[in-house]
Structure formats: C-alpha cells, structure tokens
Structure 1
Amino acid sequence: MPRTNEDPGPPGRAAASDAPALRTHPIALIPAVLVCGAAVLLFGFLLPIAGYAMLAAGLLAAWLCDRSGRTERLLADLALIAVGQVVISTASMKADLSDAGMVRFAVVLGLAVLVPFLISRFVYRERTIRFPWRTGRRWNRTQWLYLIFVTLAGWLILPFYFITSGVYQNWPTVTEPDEIGRLLVGVIAVGTWDELFFICTVFVLLRRHFPTWQANLLQTIVFVSFLWELGYQSWGPLLTIPFALIQGYTFKLTKSLGYVFTVHMLFDAVVFAVIVYAHTGWPPIFLLAP
C-alpha cells in the first residue's frame, strides 16, 4: 500500500507517493491561497484588518469545500495555520533586542507554535504536528557537503545583500558585548522557531492536502512574508524565497527537523556575523568592506 504523508516511511527517504494524505480537490487551492496569502497583508504590508478578512474568507471557503465533500479536514488544518498567523500579528516582529522586545518575541512566537500544536494534539486528537529532531539515520555524504555549500554560499552572498542594500540597519546597532550576545540569542531563537512553525507546522499541515510542490509554495508565502517584517527587505525575497523552498524540500527528503535546523543555524551564523561586521567592522572575514 502506498505510504501517505501520515506514514512517510523510513526516516531519510522520500515517501513512496507524493499523494495528499486526505481527500482533496483542486478547488482546495482557493482557501489555501487565501489563508497563506493573508500573511502578505499581515506581515508584508502590516494591514491586520485586511489580513484577518482574508483569513476569514479562506476559512469560509475551506468550510464550503469540506461541506461539499470534495475535501476532508481542510478547514481544521487551515484553521491551525490561521491561528498561528493571528498570534504572530498581535505584536510587531521588527527586530528588537531590548528586554521587553525579547520577551515579546519569546511569548508571541512561542504561542504561535504551541497553540496550533495543542489544538491538533488535544482537540483534534491527531499527531500531525511533530518535531522529529532525530531520525535514527546518519547523514550521508551529500548532506554533509550541502552543509558546507550553505555556509560558503552565505559567506559569499549575505555580506553583499546586507551591506549594499543597507538592510543591516533594520537590526539594532550592536557594538557592545552584551548587545552582540543578545543578537546571537535572538538569531538562534528566531531561526529555530522558523523551522518549528513554517516547516513542522505550516508545511506539514499543507502536505496533507496538496502535493509537495504546492504545499512548499504555499508555506513559502507565509515564511517570506514574516521574514520581510523581521527585516529581510529590499531585494531580500530573492534570497528568502529560494531558502524557504529549499528548506521545505529538504525536510520532505530527510524527514529530519535536526537536519533543516542545522542548515538554518549555519546560514544564520553567517547572518549574525554579517550584521555585527556591518556595524563594527568585526570579524574581518568578509570580502566586502562595511
């Protein structure tokens, strides 16, 4: 029997079938695009009322799809994605290293992952949202080489992006050791959360209803919109869109949160170093002058 997304098969291998786990229909894309597209309004344009209206329209459309019998549990899963977005939208996601800012990020982003997880686990009584840190399989040579590639690509590309576009100024000026330490904690925390929410929650829920490529495009809309508000603006989407797509596809192949987390941390280590370098000229390891 072909495995579904609920039974992905042995860790580290692609599922035998890319078919959605639940009954679906092409019309399901309409509510999914509305729900995921609301992120553009909520985080890209900072228009909460319009964003909430778009979420409501998407959930209504999902209810109609389920009611018609064309789809199964589409409303339930899109509602979890919508709840997460609403929670995030309750606070500014602009980079802030103050005590209040870091507490705000911790509480809001924590709830954005926790609330959908608890609803799924204890209200829906499902185990769709999981956080598979370890798969029991060793990383192969290709995976190790990819980690090296990500680090080198970040070292080459990120200084040019942050410095020439000036977006490093979207992060607070960091010159003192305590400020640099706060930045490091923030980068690690947000990078970790990205994988917990966008990959293990949004992407996984969407894959129950859509082929991987469609689910990946949809989660990328939410991922990139959030990163825009965080500070990756100017021509940042030229970097964040492929990054989000590759992270989703990598998770699909490896089934390993631990691996995509490692990829993200290596990339974010370069982000951290570039932001500090742009503000202080240290560490002098990049080709482009600050």
Structure 2
Amino acid sequence: MPSTHVRPLFFLQHQSAAGSLDNGQLNAEARAHVARQAALKEAKRPKTLQFITCAPGKKPRRNHYRLTGEANDDGEGTDDRRLRVSHRCKIPLSPKKAASFDPFDSLAVPEPAREEQFLLHYAFNRTLPAFGESETYKRDFAHSWITRTMESPLVFYAQILGSSTHYSISSPGAEGQNRIITRGLQRKIQAIRVLRTKIEEYKPGSSEVDQGLLLAIFILAIHGNFDLTDRPEPHPSSPMATYRDMNIYGRMTFGEEHINALYYLVEQNGGISCVDQHAFGYVLPL
C-alpha cells in the first residue's frame, strides 16, 4: 500500500508563521532534496582522472614513494609525504558541498528552457489547483505531482507536455503559443523514448511499482492530442462546464496505447491499491 504520509511543499514559498515547528523540517527536506539532485547530476558527469607517476625512493622504507621530479627529503616522514601528495590531488566535492553552490538547481533535468520554467509555474498555479475538494487535498495533490516532476526526468518531460497542452487550449492566441506547443511536443518525444527504455527494463512483480512511471504514462494518455479549432462554449455560465477544467480536457484526445499500458501495469502490481491515492485519486475520473 502506498504511504499516506505527506510531506510539506518544501520547495515552494512557505506561508507558516515565524518560529513554526515546521520550519526545521522544511529546511531539512530542502537540503536533502538538493543534495540528492546534486549527487545524481555529479554521477552523470564525465569523470576527470588525474594520473601521478611515482618511483621508488632510495631507501627501502615501507610504502616509500615520491612524485617524479621531486627531491627526496630523507628528513620527511612517510605520513607527511602521503598527506602532502594527497593535497595535490583533486578531491571531488561532496553532494552537500556541491549542493550549497546553487540551492535552486533542484530539477532532475538541468537548465530548463524559459518556456519550461513558465509551464512548471503554470502547472502549479493553474492546472493542479483544479483538483481537490479543500486546500489540504489540493496541497497534497500538487505535492505528489510536483515532487515527482522535480525528481524524475520522465515525469518532467510528460509534465511539460501536459502543461503546454492545457495552456494552448485555455489561452488561444496567446503570445509565444507556437513556442509553447513546440516545446511540449519535443518533450513528448523525449518522454516516449525514456518510457520505452523503462518498459524494456520492467519486470512484473520484481519490486514496488514506480509511481513516477505510472504518473508519466497517465499524463501521456490524457494529453494524446488536442483540438484548437474555434467553437462556441456550450454552457459558458454553467459551473459544471468548467468543473475541474472539463471544458479543457474535453478538447483533448486520449492516447489509447498509453491507457492500455497503464491498465496493464496496475493489474500486474495488484490492482488499484498499488496506486498513490494522493497522485491519482482526483484525476482517475478523467
């Protein structure tokens, strides 16, 4: 069963009163998240190797080695020499130290484009708040989506597609709309490529289902295609016409292949109980 414990939105502006007991937890969560992202990015970078040529010293001491071209000081102890040599080598930064350089570099995908930054902001402030019956439930829902968007490249790509589709339908003729649509389609291609790799590596029942994988497939399924043709709103004054953005999602064409894949993965992992209730509880009716 997925955990029902929900952490606060540590990566967003916190509105608690000064001196709140939550501040310590928020700071710890933020540092832990940035450290994880720094460690992941550091692991993906090409390693810089530094080779040091060593030659035996004159005296047959244990572990007595010196740098090539360095004078052999008989008065210098072996431990001192080791310490001096180690200081000459490049020591990689620890994740905590690396993360301290840029605490806002918290996305799994480095250096997102300006359109992508806008779309992430749009998702949190416009798209996600449409789901949830109270502020608490809306916060839990947004947390489950945004956290995985920040930590998973696959979910990030899919989320950019979803936000670009939603924005294009809700804001027809807006400035820069073509760039937004193009960016969403580019990320859709990347999401499908990553998804294919993960599906090939997937082994049913081998471990707990990856909620990020399910979420990415769900986003791809909902935002299969969309219709931008001009047409009158059927019920412009009816609350039911805009409830949970049904007037927007009603202009989308679902991707049947992704829906079938989602059904298969959920069934292989024990049914609906394997799904994170905070992430999917309010969007399953779509």
The TM-score, its normalising length taken from structure 2, stands at 0.28
Bigger RCO of structures 1 and 2 (CA < 8 A, at least 6 apart): 1
Give the number of the structure whose residues are more often helix, by fraction: 1
